[in-house]
Structure 1
Amino acid sequence: MHAALTQLTRPFGTRVAVPRRLSPLTTVGDEVDPTTVGLRTDDVERIWKAVRAFYRTGLQPGMSLVVKHRGEVVVDRAIGHRRLGADDLITTDTPVCLYSCSKAISAVLVHRLVEEGGLALDDTVASHLPEFAVHGKEAVTVRDLLTHRARLARLPLRKPETDELLDIDRVVAALCDARLARSPRQAYHAVTGGYLLDAIVRRTGRSFPGLLEEYLAGPLDLPTMTYGVPEDRRDAVALSYWTGPTVVPPLTTVITRVLGVEPHKVPDGLNSPGAMSSVLPSAGIWASAHDAATVFEMLMRGGELAGTRVLSPGTYAEAVRPAGPLVMDGMLPVPIRFSAGFMLGEPTASLYGWNTPEAFGHLGFMNITCWADPARELSVAFLNTGKSASPEAVVRLAAVNWAISKAIPRTQA
């Protein structure tokens, strides 16, 4: 029996108690010998060493990582527990809330709906939601929502609590009545775009859960990937927790501005039955590391996996095409480029490591990354249940992604 996980309160915040030996907390799935896909065993072990170092910070109750190279699983490991105070270990089959990595998967579904003729990227939002056409918003398009250029990054609600964000019709009405930001530059839409995309999809007669089942979960056999969590499966998921300091200016100030709510309130909000019963395209998909990695493996292969084509080559190319140059984002604020649904890599440093110009994916609330790099024949899902604004967490997450991009060299010039 594994010792139950506890939380310790320390002078500089709340952290998980970490034992000296981590092997009893670690699960390992089926991995190929790295040398069979041209990798060195030592380099793959350095990836896991970076994950273990992250876990030793005490900021992560549970972590799961799946790394695929050339279609083979080279890392299939998890460490920690599903929940605080429980014995059950997290595994790479345990569903975790993907937070903003949900945006990338929701974008895939929007692109698929475009492909079948349900809407077009250059449709105005108002052509589907006529009530949106006020205060100068008539020209805002679906593409603008996906590329974070709609100038609606801020929630038009005054200091909302997390339960207010689950009143979806109220939030959509507020966004329809909102005024555009004055600055025309790119500014990350942490939650606003998802509400509007959901309303647009529903006006076409479809739904995000229906699209997910029809085009991803069913054809690609993704049993854990859902919007929210059905009641009969809620006991099996890993919950998320705020860890580290509650307040870390200026980072928490930035996150509050981006999300519209204080960041330490978000995990409990998304763990709630109300959130698990809601469709939140920007933050509410749950999936295991295996299932998330499978989606990005499909994307790494140009929209097709094992004979199942999800996106046509043209649709795929449109989905990953940069929407503009590298700029300092108006909300995050970091230098970043977006496509219509993805955060993009760079020839120098990026979220995905060094020399990742073809990489694309997404960051999920500071500590989750799901991404693909066709030049490396690489797909990754790194899921974590600790939500922390600690600078240490940012550094450790970067170290894991850098270890992955360093261990798996580019196979394409």
Structure 2
Amino acid sequence: MHTALTQLARPFGTKVAVPRRLSPLTTVGDEVDPAALDLRTDDVERIWKAVRAFYRTGLQPGMSLVVRHRGQIVLDRAIGHRRLGSDELITTDTPVCLYSCSKAITAVLVHRLAEEGGLDLDDTVASHLPAFAAHGKGEITIRDLLTHRARIARLPLRKPETDELLDIDRVVAALSEARPARSPRQAYHAVTGGYLLDAIVRSTGRTFPQLLEEHLSGPLGLSTMAYGVPEDRRDDVALSYWTGPTVVPPLTTVITRVLGVEPHKVPTGLNSPASMSTVLPSAGIWASAHDAATVFEMLNRGGNLDGTRVLAPETYAEAIRPAGPLVMDGMLPVPIRFSAGFMLGEAGASLYGWNTPEAFGHLGFMNITCWADPARDLSVAFLNTGKSASPESVVRMAAVNWAISKAIPRHRA
């Protein structure tokens, strides 16, 4: 019997009680010997050391990590509990909300639908949703939504509650009536693009859950990946929790501006049965670390995994092609490049560590990362259930990806 997970109130926020010994809270799956892949065992173990250091902050109820190199799993580990008040451990098979990492998977499905002729990325949004043309938005394209250049980064709702964001038709109507930003500069569309993509896909006679089952979950055998969570599986998922200080200026101020709601309200909202019953393409996919890593392994291999083709080579190339140069984003206070669906790495420092110019993936609410780096023959899913704006969380999350990029060297210049 493991000690049940509890939360401790601290003067500077809420943290999870962390025992001295972490091995009773750790699960390990089948892993290949790093030496068989020409990796140093010490370097691979430093990755897990970085994860353990993150857990010791008390900001993470549960964490799961799958790292694949040359198609083989070199790390398959999890630490912590599935839920507060439970003694059940999280594993790499436990479904977790992917938050904005959902955007990357949603983008894959949009690209696949375009490949089939169901739409074109250069279609205007208004050609599918005529009302969206209001106030000069008639030239905005689907590609603009995917590359965060649609000029509607902000939710046009004043201080919405999380349940209001589940009224999809209302939000789409508000976005259609909204006036666009004057500048076409890149500005991260944290939630707005997903609502419109959902409405566009429905206008073609398809739905994202159908596309997910047809092109990813079914062919790749992803038993946990879904938009939301079916009612009969809700007891099996790991829930997310706000940890650390509720207010951490300027981070919480920035997050509120990006999301449209106060960040500490988001985990509770996405944990709700109503949210689990709603298709939220920007933030509402749930999956285990195994299933998320499988999608990125497929992408690492150019859209084809073990003979199962998800994307044609030209579609894959289009999906990861940079939409523009490295710029300071108009919503996120960082320099970043996007493709039509992915956050991209850089030759210097990036979200994915050091010297990751070919890497692509996504960040999910501060500390979830799913990514691939073909130059390293690498795919990663690092899932966490503690949502925190604490600077310590940001630093520790970055340290994990830096350890991964250091442990697994590039095999091509």
Corresponding residue for residue 115 of structure 2: 115
Q: How many pairs were matched up?
A: 413
SS in structure 1 opposite 2:333? coil
RMSD over aligned Cα, in angstroms? Answer: 0.3
One-letter amino acid of the structure 1 residue matched with residue 394 of structure 2 = V
Q: What is the rounded CA distance, in whole Å, between the counterparts of 1:181 and 1:370 in structure 2?
A: 30
1:261 CA displacement:
0.1
Corresponding residue for residue 252 of structure 1: 252
Q: Please list, as runs of the form range in 1=range in 2, the aligned pairs for 1:62-211 lying within 5 A after superposition.
A: 62-211=62-211
Task: Say whether 1:262 aligns with 2:262.
Answer: yes
Q: What is the rounded CA distance, in whole Å, between the counterparts of 1:37 and 1:298 in structure 2?
A: 19
1:333 CA displacement:
1.4
Task: Say whether 1:45 aligns with 2:15.
Answer: no
Deviations 1:370-404 (A, max 9, x none): 00000000000000000000000000000000000
SS in structure 1 opposite 2:64? strand
Corresponding residue for residue 231 of structure 2: 231
1:182 CA displacement:
1.8
Q: What is the rounded CA distance, in whole Å, between the counterparts of 1:21 and 1:235 in structure 2?
A: 28
Q: What is the rounded CA distance, in whole Å, between the counterparts of 1:329 and 1:198 in structure 2?
A: 24
SS in structure 2 opposite 1:157? coil
Q: What is the rounded CA distance, in whole Å, between the counterparts of 1:330 and 1:319 in structure 2?
A: 22
One-letter amino acid of the structure 2 residue matched with residue 191 of structure 1 = V
One-letter amino acid of the structure 2 residue matched with residue 226 of structure 1 = A
SS in structure 1 opposite 2:68? strand
1:183 CA displacement:
2.2
Q: What is the rounded CA distance, in whole Å, between the counterparts of 1:147 and 1:194 in structure 2?
A: 12
Deviations 1:1-53 (A, max 9, x none): 00100000001100000000000000000000000011010000000000000
Corresponding residue for residue 302 of structure 1: 302
Task: Say whether 1:32 aligns with 2:32.
Answer: yes
One-letter amino acid of the structure 2 residue matched with residue 199 of structure 1 = A
Corresponding residue for residue 317 of structure 2: 317
Q: What is the rounded CA distance, in whole Å, between the counterparts of 2:369 and 2:196 in structure 1?
A: 24
Q: Please list, as runs of the form range in 1=range in 2, the aligned pairs for 1:6-17 lying within 5 A after superposition.
A: 6-17=6-17
SS in structure 2 opposite 1:323? coil
SS in structure 1 opposite 2:136? coil
1:412 CA displacement:
1.1
SS in structure 2 opposite 1:134? helix
1:184 CA displacement:
1.9
> Structure 1 residue runs of 4+, over 6 Å off?
none
Q: What is the rounded CA distance, in whole Å, between the counterparts of 2:286 and 2:411 in structure 1?
A: 32
One-letter amino acid of the structure 1 residue matched with residue 152 of structure 2 = L
Corresponding residue for residue 394 of structure 2: 394
Q: What is the rounded CA distance, in whole Å, between the counterparts of 1:29 and 1:138 in structure 2?
A: 51
SS in structure 2 opposite 1:219? helix
Identity %: 87
Corresponding residue for residue 4 of structure 1: 4
Corresponding residue for residue 335 of structure 2: 335
Q: What is the rounded CA distance, in whole Å, between the counterparts of 2:356 and 2:90 in structure 1?
A: 30
Q: What is the rounded CA distance, in whole Å, between the counterparts of 1:412 and 1:309 in structure 2?
A: 24
SS in structure 2 opposite 1:8? strand
One-letter amino acid of the structure 1 residue matched with residue 184 of structure 2 = P
One-letter amino acid of the structure 2 residue matched with residue 187 of structure 1 = A
1:124 CA displacement:
0.1
Corresponding residue for residue 56 of structure 2: 56
Corresponding residue for residue 403 of structure 1: 403
SS in structure 2 opposite 1:395? helix
Q: What is the rounded CA distance, in whole Å, between the counterparts of 1:63 and 1:252 in structure 2?
A: 22
SS in structure 2 opposite 1:76? strand
Corresponding residue for residue 217 of structure 1: 217
Corresponding residue for residue 372 of structure 1: 372
SS in structure 1 opposite 2:363? strand
Deviations 1:227-286 (A, max 9, x none): 000000000000000000000001000000000000000000000000000000000000
Q: What's the TM-score, normalizing by structure 2?
A: 1.00
SS in structure 2 opposite 1:135? helix
Gaps of 5+ in 2: none
Corresponding residue for residue 278 of structure 1: 278
One-letter amino acid of the structure 2 residue matched with residue 357 of structure 1 = P
SS in structure 1 opposite 2:82? coil
SS in structure 2 opposite 1:185? coil
1:331 CA displacement:
0.2
SS in structure 2 opposite 1:158? coil
Gaps of 5+ in 1: none
Q: What is the rounded CA distance, in whole Å, between the counterparts of 1:309 and 1:412 in structure 2?
A: 24
1:161 CA displacement:
0.5
One-letter amino acid of the structure 2 residue matched with residue 206 of structure 1 = R
Q: What's the TM-score, normalizing by structure 1?
A: 1.00
Task: Say whether 1:22 aligns with 2:16.
Answer: no
